Structure 1
Amino acid sequence: MKVKIEEKPAFTAVGFRGRFTSKDGANFRDIPKMWDNLSKHDYERLLTLSDVFPQTVLGICANEDSETETFDYWIAGATTAQTSDLEQLSIGAATYAVFAVEGAQPAAVQKAWQDIFAEWLPNSDYKIANGPQIEYNPDGDAFAEDYYCEIWLPVVKKMK
């Protein structure tokens, strides 16, 4: 896995939010449906609003409840603009493990998530920190075999 540790600034995400469960892998089926149902107009609006990370739409996992195995998933743009008709999520500055993901979506990003939790986390010097987990999706053909995106996992060093 290609990974680097980076500091990311605080930003505000604006967009669309749904509540999902990870029970029985339901999130791997239901989140792609949320993307499929996003209108071309709404997608283009998020790209236009995204001035913090230009021409990028983010997938954000936040507000996880481990008891119920549920979390919020956002399709959003990172912006400095004020909007009143979209939901907003404030994301603080943090240290992230940034994973390079290449391949057709959603299969490539789903495999990367599984590899992160099964292989990278148990064998790394880091553990997950509190904070949103982010999929960084530059504009492009997400179904192309050479599509490039990233997963940003908030991390802290493990105590030795």
Structure 2
Amino acid sequence: MEFRIVTKPGFDVIGYAIRTRIADGQNHRDIPAFWQGYKKEKLDETLYEQAISTAEYGICDNFDMETGEFSYIIGVEAREGAEAPEGTVRCHYPEQTYAVFTIPKSTPQQFSDSIQRTWGFIMEEWLPHAPYVHGGTAEFEYYDERCWPDRNELLEMDIYIPIQPKIEEA
């Protein structure tokens, strides 16, 4: 799977958050259900007023390595001076270098599975053999017009993994 290296300037996100865990694949159930509820309740509409675009982020943040728990935030990049609506969180992410993977194009029915397979490839196959280590900061999914089913037959999105060069021991 191909990737590109980008340095993304710092940005702010306003969004809705849940806490989930990796154990027993709980995150693979919680996150898709969170997205379904987010779309069904039209929570995106409350965020767009504060956003610089209609692109959305799915951010994995605040990892607890002992418990395997982390926060997952669905949000938008906040415009300057934006106010976080009640029930949302606002987070700042500093400039960071990322490896960016675009998931294989998939049907709307296979979109979630394609995202999860790409995450699996990144974490289980690519990262252990890459000349990089995880940067230790938030990783995220970037959803733009390429994943809108009313405009595309096949959907795609990007996964951003924070990286640092691997230092080889002498």
**TM-score, scaled to structure 2:** 0.86
1:21-42 CA-partner distances (Å, limit 9, x unpaired): 1001110011100011114531
Residue of structure 2 in register with 1:31 after alignment: 31
Residue of structure 2 in register with 1:74 after alignment: 73
The answer to whether 1:45 aligns with 2:38 is no
The alpha carbon displacement at 1:47 in A equals: 4.1
Residue of structure 2 in register with 1:159 after alignment: 167
Q: Which moved more, 1:108-117 or 1:79-88?
A: 79-88
The answer to whether 1:150 aligns with 2:158 is yes
CA contact (8 A) 1:50 1:57 kept: no
Tell me: CA distance 1:18–1:95, structure 2 relative to 1, closer, same or farther (3 Å). Answer: same
RMSD value over aligned CA atoms? 1.7
CA contact (8 A) 2:99 2:163 kept: yes
List alignment gaps of at least 5 residues for structure 2: none
Give 4+ residue runs of structure 1 displaced > 6 Å after superposition.
none
Tell me which protein shows more strand as a share of its residues: 1
The count of aligned residue pairs is 157
2:127 partner SS: helix
Residue of structure 2 in register with 1:22 after alignment: 22
Distance 2:163 2:94 in 1: 13
Identity level (%): 30
Q: Identify which of 126, 130, 135 aligns with 2:132.
A: 126
Distance 1:148 1:155 in 2: 22
